[in-house]
Structure 1
Amino acid sequence: MNVRRLIPTTALAATVALGATALTACSGTAGAAGSSDGKLHVTASFYPLQFLAEQIGGDHVKVDTLTKPGVEPHDLEITPKQTGQLSESDVVLYLKSLQPAVDKAVAQSGVKNVVDAATLTKLEAHGTSGEGHEGHDHAAEGEPGHDHGHDHAAEGEAGQDPHVWLDPAKYAEIAKGFGAALEKADPGHAADYKKNTDELVAKLGALDTEFKDGLKNTASRTFITTHSAFGYLAERYGLDQEGISGVDPESEPSPARMKDLQAIAKKDNVTTVFFETLASDKTAKTLARDTGLQTDVLDPLEGITDTSQGADYFEVMRSNLKNLRKALGTK
């Protein structure tokens, strides 16, 4: 779609050093006092960033999201109404390269304070590590025949994996960076933003400990998933992610990949094929039937719906931990 570029009258780029983090802010200082409801209007691109903004902003912010519940975020298309909503925001929080339509709209919006979550933590590439082993091969996911609508080849530099929120420690880094951004955008409530940020980071630290302790002693370290979104989680807790060929949960695995996964499942004592809540479980059930494995949910937390195994980020992550512990054979 064609989006008319709104050019602010002044432009100022500021970089806030946050250890290894950075905030890019465009012109002006957003102030809650300028809004009719007295709140800072924040637009988040999808659920993990919406949740973070709500937790840190508290009563001082009004948070909207561009990706509504039940919508697969990778496939999002921006409507004219959303473009208007975006341009009227005080602060925008998004993750560059995850949603190309959002990237384009943000670049053309003229929003005064833009926070790219990808700059607030270190992104890594989770590609293939050998024949038949798939971590998060973004280049392969963009091959012809893949109709998921998400160009993984464009994900950051050198195919970087954007799914950082599934690692509680990296999610905490993003929380710290965004908290600092809110303090700068709305200094009148900086103390509250700092307090809320510290509380959220503490909760994420506790969740990280739960995962470390819960996945310490297992019969297997390998899990199979239809959506290879768990590279950061696997790396953090010493697990091996095996993704079915192609990120599209609707697609059938190739015979060669099926053979590879059968061998991996036998060698690594794999019991379960995981699928996600926002996509069909067809591929997982096909693979499970042909390999004699079970199926279960491992939620990439790209959105919360009535079918999610929890009402918010923490509840769903703890459900993921429970399902992983069961599948990996916790000792």
Structure 2
Amino acid sequence: MKLLAALPALLLLSGCAAFTDDSVGLDNGVQVATAFYPLQYVAERVAGGHADVENLTAPGGEPHDLELTVRETAEVAQADLVVYERGFQPSVDDAVAENAEGDVVDAAEVVDLVPFREHGVDSAEDDPHFWQDPLLLAEVGDAVADRLSEIDPDHADDYAANAADLRADLERLDEEYASGLAHCARTTVVVSHDAFGYLQRYGLRMTAILGLAPDAEPTPAGLGRLEDLVRSEGITTVFSESLVSPAVADSLARDTGVASKVLDPIEGLSDETAGEDYLSLMRANLRALREANGCA
């Protein structure tokens, strides 16, 4: 039985409300629920002022570990459009399957996900971190514009124009990565977990400390191999992430005498990055990669 039937009473008891119909600046009340930050960024850029966009993953939250509250489940149920990635957040998958009454855009159906094994990872699963490739994120923007145009045809031209502007920004970012990483002294990058495989399109080779899960524990043998790799290839930097503890990355950097810095997987914003957006964070990552790899 669907949870939807129980949601109104639960929301009343908890004093919560999901989307509101009188949001400031809205002219038609279109409501969009997004599963995590890159999808929120796309939806906000494409919707402009014509929709209320809510992110199901709270700022500072690790999207892999998301468990939806009653309020967030209600947002899925009430949304005119849900933008998510099937297979990335099981609780969102369940809420969409059981409660979504509006349209959906599933990023896993929009873009061609690359298997982890093509990124050098021993897994038969697809790598969900497609937003590390700006051109793939542009495809999601186009799909969101198409679906919003069906929901709200009065503003179809605006959605198409906004998606085109977004694509132009993302294509420019792609060019910056391609040129910025074209001539580097080193190409191997040690990162916290396997969230950066799509960057290998720019000639990098990503090696993860923790594997697929950001909260995993590395084995002593694995750490030993990474120490050898850092020393043999002259790696200057070990990268941690913004939403998980840097302790393991810091320890590896300390043991090998190299720098420890942050490479943001851009799965969500934190207190430190609240004033940033996808484009600025990707450019910060590019600067960090260029410095670490001695790129000309």
Structure 2 length-normalised TM: 0.88
| The one of 164, 169, 178 aligned to 2:130 | 164
Instruction: State whether residues 35 and 84 of structure 2, in contact with CA within 8 Å, keep that contact through their aligned partners in structure 1.
Output: yes
Partner of 2:183: 217
1:206 deviation in Å? 0.3
Partner of 1:173: 139
Q: Which runs of 5+ in 2 are unaligned?
A: 6-20
| The one of 271, 294, 300 aligned to 2:265 | 300
1:321 deviation in Å? 0.2
Equivalent runs, 1:260-271 vs 2, <5 Å: 260-271=225-236
1:294 deviation in Å? 1.2
| The one of 54, 60, 67 aligned to 2:50 | 60
Partner of 1:274: 239
Partner of 2:204: 239
| The one of 204, 213, 220 aligned to 2:170 | 204
1:51 deviation in Å? 0.6
In 2, distance between residues paired with 1:91 and 1:108?
15
May I ask how many residue pairs the two structures share in their alignment? 277
Name the structure with the higher helix share.
2
* Residue type at the aligned position of 1:297: V
In 1, distance between residues paired with 2:133 and 2:235?
22
Q: How big is each residue's C-alpha offset from its partner over 1:55-105, in whole Å with a ceiling of 9 and x where there is no partner? A: 000010110111010000000001112111211111110011100000000
Change (3 A) 1:128 1:164: closer
Larger deviation, residues 108-117 vs 274-283:
108-117
Instruction: State whether residues 250 and 282 of structure 1, in contact with CA within 8 Å, keep that contact through their aligned partners in structure 2.
Output: no
Q: How big is each residue's C-alpha offset from its partner over 1:190-218, in whole Å with a ceiling of 9 and x where there is no partner? A: 00000000000000000000001110111
Equivalent runs, 1:32-51 vs 2, <5 Å: 38-51=28-41
Q: Which runs of 5+ in 1 are unaligned?
A: 7-34, 130-134, 140-157
1:112 deviation in Å? 2.0
In 2, distance between residues paired with 1:125 and 1:267?
28
In 2, distance between residues paired with 1:190 and 1:128?
38
In 2, distance between residues paired with 1:212 and 1:282?
31
